[in-house]
A and B are shown apart, each in its own frame.
Chain A
């Protein structure tokens, strides 16, 4: 298996303070890597930098061997790099259907193809099918996160970046979402980088766990190891 997403010596900072000092990370194709660490460790910053919303001070980001430097956010998305950002990323003023259509637009220019892709998402996320004409702001927290995820998946991305998808959601809903993600990975070879504070859930679907501390990688091990080893857990995850 080759690394689809490679991050080399990445340095990101605002003003004087570096948030990420020098980070190296390789995400293999068809795997789920859980990105763990406390608040402020740099998880969101890392994901936003990969997507292009933040310009790094140094280092490189490679997607399938191609350097993403200078590539605009929307063009990275069109290369198959999708992100579900933290919090409420659903466009509240648009309906569920419109949100999904929006997500599918760049990939499927023709209406008929888009219809097929969107309907596939409705099959995968049944609650969304029932609410297809509802506006974003009328959905519950769980439905919104489902929509955000569906919207990212509808364009059949190659790499999916997820920023704290479990935030504010009931455990049952979290489990459902993660199950869908794992299922998609196993079925289609999707590559996922999952930033999470909910360690147990994240490690339960991940192949590998990477722990960030103060902008650096402090641990990088197979998920099962991290989950099982109490010393590792205690040292890096605090419990």
Chain B
């Protein structure tokens, strides 16, 4: 990777890298069937949240058990903003559907997602800066468990258990014969994922990123060196929240709906699994983790269906078996390979070149 175009370094290099990955992703969508493209879009959405969480935990040591709630915030923000724009369009809601995708609507939705998830992230970040690890984790746990209740209490705006609907974005007329719907959605998801990834990498390499690592390593020493530890932790939290919010917005766009049931505690824990298995702090790891978390349940489901088990057992295994495997993975990976997949890869590479391994890609 470092041998390609070595003369380009720093921020331009990262931006180019993000673009390259986006193009690569888009190219891939051409060889996948519609269902796979749908899965790809879901993986990309999960990646946004996982990457944010991974950077948050890996860089500042703050564990959030409620990132699903931040995704939900993004989803609701998207739905509210996009629907608002839709309502303001000539002829009322739904009339712009025939014209493919309304860029204004999508951008408005994304802006809404960023704002809502950013504000929630700011509040949590401010709390987290003052709290020690377990307390923040407990707070975020309470948040994600309270999500259904929050939507019920604010039923007027948030629609309770039913949730909200988001406008349908069809393939633009110009590309209609070239690209299927799922592929189009996958493109949007991949673009969002590249933006999130690029942003996080830039953050990691920036002065703020250095400060975060200093605070994580030894907070007292960092404070003594003049690092504003509290502010640094808040910045990290907001960044990870916005990233998760983007992921939620993408999910909302692809499924045209957002509801509390889709963002449960189980989902939050799944994001933790993805981040840990991939390797905390590593974006490549986050990608691997997200893929595992989306594809493994599907794989397990296929296997159990193929085994032709009695319907009752089938019912009980569905969902639960995947969670069991993930829970076991979480325990085993944390105890045996704390660096996750990325850490193991880095160690192998280091052993081969006999250099001390870098801890993140």
Whether A and B touch directly in their complex, counting CB atoms under 8 A apart, is answered as no
